[in-house]
Chain A
Amino acid sequence: MLEIQDLLNRLEAKLKHIIVERQLTNPLMIGIRTGGVWIAEQMHQRLNINEPLGLLDISFYRDDFSQIGVNPNVKPSQLPPHIEGRDIILIDDVFYTGRTIRAALNEIFDYGRPNQVVLAVLIERDGRQIPLCPDCVGASITLNADQRIKLTGPEPLAIHLQTIDAAA
């Protein structure tokens, strides 16, 4: 079911469609670290976007800082200084609770006010906790509560379905 190339192909097709439909002019593509960047690198290449890919690290915008603390592997976000008025394609690997996207949007808006933001994810799974949803998905799936999707990469890019230990 989760064949990475199929998902990437489907996401690419949907992105091409939405770029026309929403009239995204000279879009800025931004990947969310870490998995989202890998997907974004693929899309960036497939869609022939000239401007360098933006990289977003949402560590400082997470809503669970008081529970998990500073991520010691945090890296600086790399976005162009002028986001004001831009059309943005935001890319992540898995859409789950929606909290990552909430954090990502807050960070992007601290760089300026974009014209529009389109959200594309490789996989959307059930379990949403925030009223946000992706515009383009490679696939939508339903999982058990103890199941997680994990992406490994960037070379080779692969998707794994994991069952987490409920006691942990």
Chain B
Amino acid sequence: MTDNLQLNSEGKLKHFLSIEGLQKSLLTEILDVAESFVGIGDHQIKKVPLLRGKTIVNLFFENSTRTRTTFELAAKRLSADVLSMSISTSSTSKGESLLDTIRNLEAMFVDMFVVRHAISGAAHFIAQQTAPHISVINAGDGQHAHPTQAMLDMFTIRQIKKDFSNLRVAIIGDILHSRVARSQIQALNTLGAAEVRVIAPKTLLPAHVESLGVNVSHNLTAGLKDIDVIIMLRLQKERMSSALLPSESEYFKCFGLTEDKLKIAKPDAIVMHPGPINRGVEIDSKVADGPQSVILKQVSNGIAIRMAIMAMTMQKQGVM
């Protein structure tokens, strides 16, 4: 499973599966192209004709509202035809294999799959198996990667902070189970952030997390010092039952972001969250809705960044 799978023979983006293996120049190009899509929402006609006549299928084997909706809107703003399928309620429940589902959709002349799946590597697998003219975008696979979320976060950070080289970024919460965090860490390091710091209880950090290129803190108060960008992660409720944490209120007391704790970071620090947020669990409502929060900006930017990635993967490929 090589990440070169993502690039065609000319080094251009063919699939978008993971941040890993992508050069800084390519990530920057994605951010630049996305920049030019931002204003389209303000036009009278909220569309450009780039992908007119292309068919995009959103294959969501796992639930999602925000990601699926923004992918759908992004495809529509590029003038593609888009079909969203929630597979858990579809053929697979009748026993059809993943590959058979893919083959059937290919037979309907699809040009792109956007895949979310609970199993790590699912999007890679589909990219390897699918017909050569089809592009695959990973919309989240297991605990592995969520690269479009990471890119929209990078876009939001760049929009506000302009440059990565002086930035200290803290990622706070359940790093262990978070595909978002993994992709963010890779993107921030590739783009040259001064420091990526992860702040979490030991039970929610993967072993040897330092090897990802991060500094580690187990204390929110100490960890927030000098931070420019705070990224909160959602605490999934099921983590409580698996004995990784004593209780929600205990977690909030130690790792929840409150107005007081936010004051420890730099005064112009921004607060981000990939959503959906658990108010009062990882973040206080006053912070989530406060002036330093850019959470809704992230959602808007998700459309532009997904447009950029879709357009770039669909451009002419080496074949023909």
Q: Which residues of A contact B (CB under 8 A)?
A: 57, 59-61, 65-70, 72-77, 81, 83-84, 106-107, 109-112
Contact = CB atoms under 8 A, between A and B. Distances in A.
A110 B52 CA distance: 15
Given A61-B48, A83-B44, A106-B49, 18 more contacts: A59-B36, A60-B36, A60-B311, A68-B315, A69-B12, A69-B312, A69-B316, A70-B50, A70-B312, A70-B315, A74-B33, A75-B36, A76-B36, A81-B42, A109-B45, A110-B48, A111-B43, A111-B45
Contact of A72 (B32, B42, B47): B32
Given A81-B42, A110-B43, A70 B33 contact: yes
Contacts of A75: 35-36
Contacts of B315: 65-66, 68-70
Given A59-B36, A72-B32, A66 B316 contact: yes
Contact of B39 (A66, A77, A83, A112): A77
A61 B49 contact: yes
Interface residues of B, number: 21
B38 interface: yes
A50 B156 CA distance: 34
Nearest to A59: B36
Contacts of B163: none
B268 interface: no
18 contacts: A61-B48, A65-B50, A66-B316, A69-B312, A70-B50, A70-B308, A72-B32, A74-B32, A74-B36, A75-B35, A75-B36, A76-B35, A76-B36, A77-B39, A81-B42, A83-B44, A110-B45, A112-B44
B3 interface: no
A110 B44 contact: yes
Contacts of A110: 43-45, 47-48
Given A60-B48, A110-B45, A76 B39 contact: yes
Interface in B19-52: 29, 32-33, 35-36, 38-39, 42-45, 47-50
B38 to A, nearest CB: 7
Nearest to A76: B36
B37 to A, nearest CB: 8
Given A61-B48, A110-B43, A68 B316 contact: yes
Interface string B219-252: 0000000000000000000000000000000000
A63 to B, nearest CB: 9
Contact of B33 (A72, A84, A109): A72
A60 B39 contact: no
Contacts of B44: 83-84, 110-112
A117 to B, nearest CB: 16
A80 B20 CA distance: 40
A76 B38 CA distance: 8
A67, A70, A77, A106: most-surrounded residue (chain B CB, <10 A): A70
